[in-house]
Structure 1
Amino acid sequence: MEIDRAEIGTGFITEVDRYLYNNGRHYEIYEKLGAHPEKYEGNDGMYFAVWAPHGSQVSVVGDFNGWDPEANLMSSLSDSGIWETFVPGLGIGELYKYAITTRSGKILFKSDPYAFQAEYRPQTASVTADLSVFQWKDRSWMEKRMTKDPLHEPLSIYEVHLGSWRKKNRAEKDGFYTYTEAAHELADYILEMGYTHVELMGIAEHPYDGSWGYQVTGYFAPTSRYGTPEEFMYFVDYLHRKGIGVILDWVPAHFPKDAHGLADFDGEPCYEYGDPRKGEHPDWGTKVFDYSKYEVDNFLIANALYWVDKFHVDGLRVDAVASMLYLDYGRNNGEWVPNQYGGNENLEAIEFFKHLNSVIKNRGNGAMVIAEESTAWPRVTGNQEQAGLGFTFKWNMGWMHDFLEYMKLDPYFRKYNHHKMTFGLSYFTSENYILVLSHDEVVHLKCSMIHKMPGLLEDKFSNLKLGYTFMLGHPGKKLLFMGQDFGQFHEWDEKSALDWYLSEEPLGKDLKDYVRDLLHLYKKYPALYEKDFDWEGFSWVNANDKERSIFSFIRYSKDHKRSLLFVLNFTPVERPDYRVGVPKRGAYTLVLDEKHGLYKRGEKAPSFRSVKTEWDGQEHSFSYPLPAYGAAVFRF
Structure 2
Amino acid sequence: MMKKNGSFADKDLLLEPFRYTIRKRYENFVLREVGFTEGKKRLADVFNSHLYYGLHKTDKAWVFREWAPFATALYLIGDFSDWQKKEEYRLHKIENGNWELDLPLDRLRHGMKYRLWVEWKGGEGERLPSHVRRAVQDEDTKQFSAEVWEPAKTYLWEHEFRHREKNPLIYETHIGMSTEKLGVSTFEEFRQQVLPRIADLGYNTIQLMGIQEHPYYGSFGYQVSNFFAVSSRFGTPDDLKRLIDDAHGRGIAVIMDLVHSHAVKNEIEGLSRFDGTYDLYFYGGEKGEHKLWNSRCFDYGKNEVLNFLLSNCKYWLEEYRFDGFRFDGITSMLYWDHGLGRDFTEYKFYYDGNQDENAIIYLTLANCLIHQVNKNAITIAEDMSGMPGLAAPIDEEGIGFDFRMSMGVPDYWIKLVSDQRDEDWHVGDLFYQMTNKRDDEHTISYAESHDQALVGDKTLIFRMVDKEMYTSMSVFEQNMVVDRGIALHKMIRLLTITTAGDGYLNFMGNEWGHPEWIDFPREGNSWSYEHARRQWHLMEDPTLRYHFLNDFDKAMLKLVKREKIFRYPSIPMVRDNERQVLIFSRGDLILAFNFNPVSSFSDYSFIAPPGKYKELLDTDGRKFDGFGRIDKRVDHFTEYKEGEGNILSLYLPSRAALVLKLND
TM-score, normalisation: structure 2: 0.82
Identify if the C-alpha distance between structure 1 residues 126 and 187 changes in structure 2 by more than 3 Å, giving closer, same or farther.
same
Give 2:143's aligned amino acid: Q
Q: Does 1:538 align with 2:575?
A: no
Could you tell me whether the CA contact under 8 Å between 1:569 and 1:631 is conserved in 2?
yes
Could you tell me whether the CA contact under 8 Å between 1:162 and 1:201 is conserved in 2?
yes
Structure 1 residue 471, shift from structure 2 partner = 1.0
Which residue number corresponds to residue 159 of structure 1?
Answer: 172
1:524-543 Cα distance to aligned partner (Å, 9 max, x none)? 111x2234xxxxx221111x
Write out aligned runs for 1:156-555 (5 A).
Answer: 156-168=169-181, 175-260=183-268, 261-329=270-338, 343-408=353-418, 409-415=420-426, 418-427=428-437, 429-436=439-446, 437-453=448-464, 456-476=481-501, 477-494=503-520, 495=529, 496-503=532-539, 504=541, 505-526=543-564, 528-531=565-568, 537-542=569-574, 544-555=575-586
Which residue number corresponds to residue 109 of structure 2?
Answer: 91
Q: Following the alignment from structure 1 to structure 2, what is the Cα–Cα distance between the partners of residues 404 and 346?
A: 31
Which residue number corresponds to residue 591 of structure 1?
Answer: 616
Q: Following the alignment from structure 1 to structure 2, what is the Cα–Cα distance between the partners of residues 580 and 276?
A: 65
1:31-54 Cα distance to aligned partner (Å, 9 max, x none)? 2211111233xxxx4221111111
Q: Following the alignment from structure 1 to structure 2, what is the Cα–Cα distance between the partners of residues 317 and 124?
A: 27
Could you tell me whether the CA contact under 8 Å between 2:177 and 2:185 is conserved in 1?
no
Could you tell me whether the CA contact under 8 Å between 2:214 and 2:223 is conserved in 1?
yes
Residue aligned with 1:328, SS: coil
Residue aligned with 1:79, SS: helix
Q: Following the alignment from structure 2 to structure 1, what is the Cα–Cα distance between the partners of residues 173 and 352?
A: 41
Q: Following the alignment from structure 2 to structure 1, what is the Cα–Cα distance between the partners of residues 196 and 660?
A: 30
Q: Following the alignment from structure 1 to structure 2, what is the Cα–Cα distance between the partners of residues 381 and 84?
A: 43
Q: Following the alignment from structure 2 to structure 1, what is the Cα–Cα distance between the partners of residues 605 and 93?
A: 76
Give 1:60's aligned amino acid: L
Give 1:287's aligned amino acid: R
Could you tell me whether the CA contact under 8 Å between 2:458 and 2:517 is conserved in 1?
yes
Deviates more, 1:458-467 or 1:429-438: 429-438
Give 1:497's aligned amino acid: R
Q: Following the alignment from structure 1 to structure 2, what is the Cα–Cα distance between the partners of residues 39 and 230?
A: 22
Q: Following the alignment from structure 2 to structure 1, what is the Cα–Cα distance between the partners of residues 578 and 642?
A: 20
Q: Following the alignment from structure 1 to structure 2, what is the Cα–Cα distance between the partners of residues 432 and 197?
A: 16
Which residue number corresponds to residue 11 of structure 1?
Answer: none
Residue aligned with 1:632, SS: strand
Which residue number corresponds to residue 38 of structure 1?
Answer: 58
Alpha-carbon RMSD:
2.7
Give 1:358's aligned amino acid: C
Could you tell me whether the CA contact under 8 Å between 2:445 and 2:496 is conserved in 1?
yes
Identify if the C-alpha distance between structure 1 residues 499 and 410 changes in structure 2 by more than 3 Å, giving closer, same or farther.
farther
Give 2:509's aligned amino acid: G
Residue aligned with 1:634, SS: strand
Identical columns (%): 27
Identify if the C-alpha distance between structure 1 residues 466 and 428 changes in structure 2 by more than 3 Å, giving closer, same or farther.
farther
Q: Following the alignment from structure 1 to structure 2, what is the Cα–Cα distance between the partners of residues 475 and 428?
A: 12
1:294-332 Cα distance to aligned partner (Å, 9 max, x none)? 111111111111111111111211110000000122679
| Structure 2 alignment gaps of length 5 or more | 1-35, 343-350, 466-479, 521-528, 625-630
Residue aligned with 2:194, SS: helix
1:423-446 Cα distance to aligned partner (Å, 9 max, x none)? 342435242110122111122422
Give 2:317's aligned amino acid: V
| Structure 1 alignment gaps of length 5 or more | 1-15, 170-174, 334-340, 532-536, 557-562
Structure 1 residue 99, shift from structure 2 partner = 1.0
Q: Following the alignment from structure 1 to structure 2, what is the Cα–Cα distance between the partners of residues 74 and 614?
A: 90
1:570-617 Cα distance to aligned partner (Å, 9 max, x none)? 122343324343442111100000133899xxx9753101111389xx
Q: Does 1:135 align with 2:151?
A: no
TM-score, normalisation: structure 1: 0.85
Residue aligned with 1:108, SS: strand
Q: Following the alignment from structure 1 to structure 2, what is the Cα–Cα distance between the partners of residues 87 and 294?
A: 33
Identify if the C-alpha distance between structure 1 residues 328 and 183 changes in structure 2 by more than 3 Å, giving closer, same or farther.
same
Q: Following the alignment from structure 1 to structure 2, what is the Cα–Cα distance between the partners of residues 271 and 185?
A: 43
Residue aligned with 2:55, SS: strand
Q: Does 1:54 align with 2:70?
A: yes
Q: Following the alignment from structure 2 to structure 1, what is the Cα–Cα distance between the partners of residues 632 and 481?
A: 33
Could you tell me whether the CA contact under 8 Å between 1:614 and 1:621 is conserved in 2?
no
Q: Following the alignment from structure 2 to structure 1, what is the Cα–Cα distance between the partners of residues 104 and 215?
A: 28
Which residue number corresponds to residue 65 of structure 1?
Answer: 81
Residue aligned with 2:545, SS: helix
Deviates more, 1:501-510 or 1:156-165: 501-510
Q: Following the alignment from structure 1 to structure 2, what is the Cα–Cα distance between the partners of residues 426 and 135?
A: 45
Could you tell me whether the CA contact under 8 Å between 1:406 and 1:420 is conserved in 2?
no
Structure 1 residue 633, shift from structure 2 partner = 0.2
Aligned residue pair count = 574
Could you tell me whether the CA contact under 8 Å between 2:109 and 2:150 is conserved in 1?
no
Structure 1 residue 342, shift from structure 2 partner = 7.3
Q: Following the alignment from structure 1 to structure 2, what is the Cα–Cα distance between the partners of residues 138 and 412?
A: 52
Could you tell me whether the CA contact under 8 Å between 1:587 and 1:607 is conserved in 2?
yes
Q: Does 1:625 align with 2:625?
A: no
Identify if the C-alpha distance between structure 1 residues 565 and 522 changes in structure 2 by more than 3 Å, giving closer, same or farther.
same
Q: Following the alignment from structure 2 to structure 1, what is the Cα–Cα distance between the partners of residues 655 and 111?
A: 58
Deviates more, 1:277-286 or 1:604-613: 604-613
Which residue number corresponds to residue 13 of structure 1?
Answer: none
Residue aligned with 1:83, SS: strand
Give 1:54's aligned amino acid: F
Deviates more, 1:456-465 or 1:72-81: 72-81
Identify if the C-alpha distance between structure 1 residues 155 and 332 changes in structure 2 by more than 3 Å, giving closer, same or farther.
closer
Q: Following the alignment from structure 1 to structure 2, what is the Cα–Cα distance between the partners of residues 609 and 394?
A: 39
Q: Following the alignment from structure 2 to structure 1, what is the Cα–Cα distance between the partners of residues 642 and 459?
A: 43
Q: Following the alignment from structure 2 to structure 1, what is the Cα–Cα distance between the partners of residues 438 and 410?
A: 13
**What is the aligned counterpart of 1:79 among 86, 96, 108?**
96
Identify if the C-alpha distance between structure 1 residues 488 and 331 changes in structure 2 by more than 3 Å, giving closer, same or farther.
closer
Structure 1 residue 161, shift from structure 2 partner = 1.4
